[in-house]
Amino acid sequence: MSKTNRREFIKKGSFATLATAGALATACQSSLKEKANTALTSDKKYNWILVSTWPPRFPVLGEGLEMLSKWIETASAGRMKIKVMGAGELIPALECFDAVSQGAAQMASGVSYYWSGKLPAAQFFAAIPFGMNAQQMNAWIINGGGLQLWEELYAPHNIIPIPGGNTGVQMGGWFRKEINSLKDLQGLKMRMPGLGGKVLAKAGGTVVLSPGNELYTNLERGLIDATEWIGPYHDYKMGFYNVAKNYYYPGWHEPGPMLEMMVSKDKFEALPLDLQEIIRSAIHRMGLWVLGEFEAKNNFYLRKMIKENGVKLKKYPDEVLAQLKIYTQEVIDELTAQDPMCKKVYASFSEFKKNITEWSNITEKVFYESLA
């Protein structure tokens, strides 16, 4: 770049910065007017309840919530205390959405596909089979317009959704028997929520939706033939290797599942502004920790299960994955044809995925291939 071009670039940048600053100032003034009745801070103390789809003191996911509670209490100098209640301690796991919506709890932790029966579009904010990984999902939700659509979907239910972390690419599941062809999926009873479950149903499987605290027992007793969960570290803690030895990859159904925090909209907006920001910041901090914890420990525990527990690591046959990908698009086409919000959300998702995939093909993909 020549000196003249550099000067012009800097000059334009300066004008753009001034224009942006002016726009931000105007927006801030407008925001302050809208929140004129909301205090910046106060000495009032708050005691909230956080319910969860996870069992009490659950490894990683429950641990993260306990850490979140401590961070918020510390950052607020004790003005806000949050009591974490695991699944079943106050309400059943799959009633968290209603608990926050109706005011029985101020916060909840889970995954949005659990509420697809109420809001079909909710599952798009969790994971789409053969979709985007954790990094890409974060980019869409936080920077690509996904969060605004998520907020729009939950607003009529008095809930504010906040991204609550990501598990990273999951494993394909634990199976009592080998999967050698599509025929082996027919009649298979498997725990698999969200869009992945709908795809499995198209392949002839029987989908069973169970909360985490029931999975081991259901698999042990033969109530289900297979289950997907998260990844090696958490799966080891769950002990699935004791009742099923065939451990499949990749997690085609959840390549980058987004966890969620739900906050009561009216309760949240009634808080002083500093507490609102403390809650948001603590949730984002927890999200980074959750993904980091899984990434840091997954391979160690995968090797441990293979070496010490007789786990058989297997890849889904290519022809099975190819057909599941076809079924995925059929499921999505059906949903978007039936539900306007599904259509709106998926249009945003698919356009973002197209653009970010083009970028990852010359960066992430090439890098990983160079390591092979």
pLDDT at res. 209: 85
Is the pLDDT score of 122 beyond 60?
A: yes
The strand pairing partners of 356, in sequence order, are none
Residue 204 has pLDDT above 80, yes or no: yes
Q: Which pLDDT score is estimated for 7?
A: 56
Distance CA 226, CA 178 (A): 10
State the pLDDT at residue 27: 43
Candidate from 11-15, 54-58, 365-369 with smallest mean pLDDT = 11-15
The pLDDT of residue 32 = 45
Mean residue pLDDT of the chain comes to 92
CB of 204 closer than 8 Å to CB of 189: no
Q: What is the pTM of this model?
A: 0.88
Helix axes 340-361 and 318-338, enclosed angle (nearest 10): 140
Residue 372 per-residue DSSP state: -
From the CB of residue 27, how many other CB atoms can be counted at a distance below 10 Å?
10
State the DSSP H helix or E strand holding residue 80, giving kind and residue range, or none if neither. Answer: strand 80-85
Question: What does the pLDDT read at residue 212?
Answer: 80
How many angstroms separate the CA atoms of 287 and 299, rounded?
Answer: 20
pLDDT tens by residue, 21-40: 444 444 444 444 455 557 89
**CB of 294 closer than 8 Å to CB of 63:** no
Burial class (CB in 10 A: 0-12, 13-18, 19+), 190: buried
Mean pLDDT to the nearest integer, 214-242: 95
d(CA 78, CA 42): 12
Question: Which residues are within 8 A (CB) of 192 and not within 5 positions of it... i.e. 6 or more apart?
Answer: 173, 200, 205, 207, 227, 228, 253
Domains of the chain and CATH, by start? 46-166+257-294 (3.40.190.170)
Q: Render pLDDT for 38-86 as a digit per residue (tens, 0 to 9).
A: 789 889 999 999 999 999 989 999 999 999 999 999 999 999 999 999 9
Using the Cα atoms of residue 64, residue 270, residue 51 and residue 167 in order, give the sign of their dihedral.
negative
